[in-house]
Amino acid sequence: MLITRPRGTNDILPGEVEKWQFLEQLTGQVCREYGYGEIRTPIFEHTELFSRGVGETTDIVEKEMYTFTDRGDRSITLRPEGTASTVRAYVENKLYALPQPVKVYYAGPMFRYDRPQAGRYRQFHQFGVEVFGSNDPAIDAEVIAMAMDIYQRIGLKNLELHLNSVGCPACRPVLRQRLQEYFKPHLENLCLNCQGRYERNPLRILDCKSEKCQGFGKDAPTTLDVLCPDCADHFAAVKGYLDEVGVSYTVNNRLVRGLDYYTRTAFEIMTQDIGAQSSIGGGGRYNGLIEECGGPATPGIGFALGLERILLTAERQGIVFPIARGPQVFIAIAGGGVAKKAFGLLQSLRQQGIAAEQDFLGRSLKAQMKYAGKLAARLVIILGEEEYNRGVAVVRDMQAGEQQEVALGDLVGFIQERR
């Protein structure tokens, strides 16, 4: 019986994985330019971290987490997102004792039990950044501008940045009361999830994907209707900084985001090139999350970008990544008497940092040349017994269709000059 991969997961094969490597290198380079250092956290955490940090009323915690009990009778969850783990690492390792702000980035697999569809899988990959220790609206603008900078360098087009403020503990209770007053006459007609959210967190009703709930909520009060003066000033300053650096945005007063920890700035980057208008990244500020996870009162902000969605959008937009394909050199063996010498030459080239390959199936010279073409090798070194005895090899340029004899002692230098 054939064993297949679990539903909602993917094998990333040679030929495709190079695109992932390109994204990882590009995002890492941007992070270094912006002053961010890499952090790596465990793939699984104690379940309490996500129930407390992400929020018990979120779809993630209620329906989507991969949670199990380990042999020590502890509840463990595969991480569904990266922020809570990064906050836990910040607190546990006392990074708050370092000069602030602390700016970090991460990349890796996340896990959510969701209905698989284009760009959305049960094991998916995110790149994200977090900034701890600054409440300056300029940091909000930097994080948002950084996300848009990454998309621009990839070459993505037709993106929309949606921006909102979701308030703070001072103004959110006012919104909670108004939302409960608004939804009370419609409570029986809301979906079962939203009926539960009515008492626990009515703001989550605005994020419901049910068309029925969206219809009842279209005239509901929003966060911008009740912002306190501090939140309003902060939001105005964020917009001002974005205007200063030419980052276009749309104020979307219904943008809530799917996680409970957000305060003040929230944003999403949308595209219509992967079907219906869909988010390919987003984030926001979470000034109470570090305290919730046991740390000192510390402001924070970050974003996460979905790598599968980036790749799907790039494919739909016809973007070709600048990826080197195939080895630089292929060694074709013409005669069994030089097989060991060819293998020695192969290793010499590799030790000089030259990508090189040879035949390991005993093909004929004609078949080897055809194989080198399939590998997209730039140069082919043809090593035959007669040539070897004369101290030379034939080097063929596969693109130009030209070839010449080169002394064996000069081969490595000859190849290096043509890198």
Identify the structural domains of the chain with CATH numbers, from first to last.
17-171+227-316 (3.30.930.10), 329-417 (3.40.50.800)
Whole-angstrom distance, CA of residue 365 vs CA of residue 335 = 9
Contact 145, 33 (CB under 8 A): no
Report pTM: 0.86
Contact 45, 71 (CB under 8 A): no
Pull the structure tokens for residue 22.
């390109």
CA trace torsion 376, 378, 383, 389 (10° rounding): 180
Tell which residue, 258, 257, 265, has the closest CA to residue 286.
265
Contact 42, 48 (CB under 8 A): no
Strand-strand pairing, 356-358 and 329-334: parallel
Looking at residue 88, its amino acid is R
Provide block-wise average pLDDT over 10 residues at a time, the chain (419 residues).
91 92 95 97 94 69 85 94 94 95 97 80 94 97 97 93 92 85 82 80 77 79 88 96 96 77 90 73 92 92 94 92 85 89 92 92 93 92 91 90 89 84
Q: Which residues contact 208 (CB under 8 A, 6 or more apart)?
A: 190, 191, 193, 194, 197, 214, 217
Pull the structure tokens for residue 351.
């030790």
Half-sphere exposure of 126 (CA within 13 A, CB side): 28
Q: What is the pLDDT of residue 276?
A: 54
Contact 57, 206 (CB under 8 A): no
Tell which residue, 175, 139, 176, has the closest CA to residue 285.
139
Q: Which residues contact 79 (CB under 8 A, 6 or more apart)?
A: 41, 42, 43, 44, 45, 50, 85, 110, 111
Q: What is the pLDDT of residue 285?
A: 94
Q: What is the pLDDT of residue 355?
A: 92
3-state SS assignment for residue 402: strand
Contact 65, 78 (CB under 8 A): yes
Q: Which residues contact 317 (CB under 8 A, 6 or more apart)?
A: 155, 156, 157, 158, 273
Strand-strand pairing, 263-271 and 278-285: antiparallel
Whole-angstrom distance, CA of residue 142 vs CA of residue 40 = 22
Pull the structure tokens for residue 63.
């329906």
Whole-angstrom distance, CA of residue 136 vs CA of residue 295 = 20
Q: Which residues contact 387 (CB under 8 A, 6 or more apart)?
A: 334, 393, 394, 405
For the chain, counts of helices (H) and of strands (E): 15, 16
Whole-angstrom distance, CA of residue 224 vs CA of residue 241 = 19
